[in-house]
Amino acid sequence: MPEKEVIEKSHRGHRGRLKKRFDNSGFKGFFDYEVLELLLTYIIPKQDTKQIAKNLIEKFKTIPDVLGAEVKELQEVKGIKQHSARFIKVFNAMVSYYFEQKAKDKKIQFTILNKLVEYLKAVIGNKQNEVMYVLYLNSQNELIQPEVLSEGTVSETTAFPRKIVEEALKYHATAVIVAHNHPGGIAEPSDKDNLMTREIKNALQTVNISLQEHIIIANKGFYSYRKNGYLD
């Protein structure tokens, strides 16, 4: 048997075992590169996706950072061409879309901090630029409508208190949660973040709508304004 056929047969056998592991126990026991390796098997035929997955982890360090990378950055990794890079971006966007739709369809109540943080990490945690994200809630703290208010540079985004008030009135919201991410940074507020929070809170108070929470999402951890006493 030619060497090429032997290699391809070995790859098929390895892929089959990887898929079988997932069928039996999901991603339990998987290394990060194996999670990516399995994903790549569906878009890269007849190649060793293990090494490509390891290359991705070596460059970006974590799965969230892989999924959040730009197409051009992904193509810098050996073995990742435009088609594969675009697929990774589509997959990442679909994860965010799934959580947004699930929240709306099931009328999720954002009353538990950890659940709120999980949702926000899925929706804006992988963004390369800072994103200001707003959740408009009813009197039961159920999500009426999520909205990307703005998307800025890697280190700055702009909040529009007046626009938040206008949208809250349009959706007949009684409460609002705002969130933004710190790409590549830490989950600590800046003076500008604090000022922005005060301005949003004061603007909402003029129409008897409460600012329930402001969450900062970073690669490692999160910051809650309410938990730290700023919104009491």
Give 60-87 pLDDT, tens digit per residue: 988 888 988 889 999 999 999 999 999 9
Q: Could you give the C-alpha distances from 32 to 11, 85, 100, 215, in angstroms and in order?
A: 19, 18, 25, 27
Task: Pick 159 or 179 by higher pLDDT.
Answer: 179
Q: How far apart are CA 149 and CA 132, in angstroms?
A: 5
CATH topology of domain 108-224: Cytidine Deaminase; domain 2 (3.40.140)
Rounded to the nearest 10°, the torsion over CA 184, 27, 77, 95 is -60
Q: How far apart are CA 199 and CA 91, in angstroms?
A: 36
Start-end of CATH 3.40.140.10 domains in the chain: 108-224
DSSP state of 163: H
**Tokens, residue 28:** 């339990």
Question: For the whole prediction, is pTM greater than 0.85?
Answer: no
At residue 154, the pLDDT reads 62
Q: Could you give the C-alpha distances from 211 to 131, 162, 190, 230, 232, in angstroms and in order?
A: 18, 14, 19, 11, 10
Averaged confidence pLDDT in the chain: 87
Start-end of CATH 1.10.150 domains in the chain: 3-94
> Looking at the domain covering 3-94, what would its CATH class be?
mainly alpha
Rounded to the nearest 10°, the torsion over CA 51, 90, 181, 130 is 110
**Tokens, residue 75:** 């193509």
51 Cβ neighbours under 8 A, 6+ residues apart: 79
Task: Pick 188 or 219 by higher pLDDT.
Answer: 188
Q: Which residues pair with 224 in a beta bridge?
A: 215
121 Cβ neighbours under 8 A, 6+ residues apart: 64, 217, 222
88 Cβ neighbours under 8 A, 6+ residues apart: 39, 66, 67, 69, 74, 80
Tens-place pLDDT, residues 2-43: 444 444 555 667 788 989 999 998 999 999 999 999 999 999
Rounded to the nearest 10°, the torsion over CA 88, 147, 203, 180 is -10
Tens-place pLDDT, residues 134-165: 999 999 888 899 998 888 766 666 778 999 99
pLDDT tier at 219, thresholds 50, 70, 90? confident
